Amino acid sequence: TIDQLRQEGYGIDAAPKRGYTLASVPDRLDTALVRAHLSGHPWQTLVTAVPSVDSTNNACKRLAAEGAPDGPVVLTGCQTAGKGRRGRTFVSPPGGLYFSVILRPHAKPEALMHLTAMAAVAAARAVFAVSDDLVLGGKKLCGILTEIGIEAESREVDYAVVGIGINCARVDLPPEVSAMSASLEAFTGQKPDRARLAAALVRSLCELEQALFTEKDAWLREFAAHCITI
C-alpha cells in the first residue's frame, strides 16, 4: 500500500484526481534495487546485498573457497570487522558502501601487482559516474584491500578478492580517522544513491577484469594522473 511504501522510506506525492507520483526512493542497499540498476549486465544476478557482515572480503573469500565463479559481489552498508591494509581495522560504520568482488585471473601472483591500482581507477570512475565535478581536497574517501588465494601445486592465483569501502554519509568517526577522511555527502551536500553507486562499481570492476592484462598501461596512466602520493 501507499502507507507501507512511505513507512519504508519512499517519497510519494499525491495529487487530487491525478493519483500518486514516486518522488524519491530510500537510500538502502537492497539486492533487488542494485540489480535493477544493472539490467542486462553479465554480473547482474551475481550481486548480493546483506544488512551487515563481518567483512565483505571475508564473505567473498568464503564463497571463493566453496568454488564460486568469477564475478560474485557482496556488498553491505555496515561491516562489524572491516579489514584494512597491513592488518589494520577499516572503520565501517552504517551509512557507507562496503563492497567486494571475486575475480578468477589465470596468472602468477607477480602478474597482478597492478590490480589494486586499477581497482582505484575503477572506484574513481564509479564515484564520478554518480557525483559530477567532485573535488575531495586531498582527504581519503575510499579504502581498497586486495587479497589473493594461491593454488598449492601450480602456485598460480586461485582467486583475487578486491574490497572497496567508500565513505558515503557524514558519520561519527574516531578522531584519528575523521581528520583524514572525506565523505561524498560532505563534499556534494547530499547523500549519494548507494544502490546506483554500487551498480556503477560493478560495471567499473567488470571493465577492469576485461582490461586487466590488455589495457594495463592505459589504466596505470589514469591512476598516475590522479594519484597524490606519487
pTM of the shown model: 0.82
Q: Do 100 and 161 touch, CB atoms closer than 8 A? A: yes
What is the predicted pLDDT for the residue at 21?
73
Element (H, E) at 12: strand 11-15
E strand residue ranges, 34-191: 47-50, 73-76, 97-103, 142-150, 157-166
What is the predicted pLDDT for the residue at 135?
47
Element (H, E) at 64: helix 56-65
What is the predicted pLDDT for the residue at 230?
67
Residues with pLDDT less than 50, the chain: 133-135
Report the candidate in 112, 90, 92, 94 with the shortest Cα–Cα distance to residue 103: 112
Contacts of 111 (CB under 8 A, 6+ apart): 105, 213
What is the predicted pLDDT for the residue at 20?
74
User: 4 phi and psi, to 5 degrees?
Assistant: -65, -40
DSSP the chain: -HHHHHHTT-EEEEETTTEEEEEE------HHHHHHTTTT-TTGGGEEEES-BS-HHHHHHHHHHTT--S--EEEES-BSS-B-GGG-B----TTSEEEEEEE---S-GGGGTTHHHHHHHHHHHHHHHHSTT---TT-B-EEEEEEEEE-TTT--EEEEEEEEEE--S-----HHHHTTB--HHHHHSS---HHHHHHHHHHHHHHHHHHTTTSHHHHHHHHHHH-S--
DSSP 227: -
Tens of pLDDT, residue by residue over 73-92, are 999 999 998 888 777 788 78
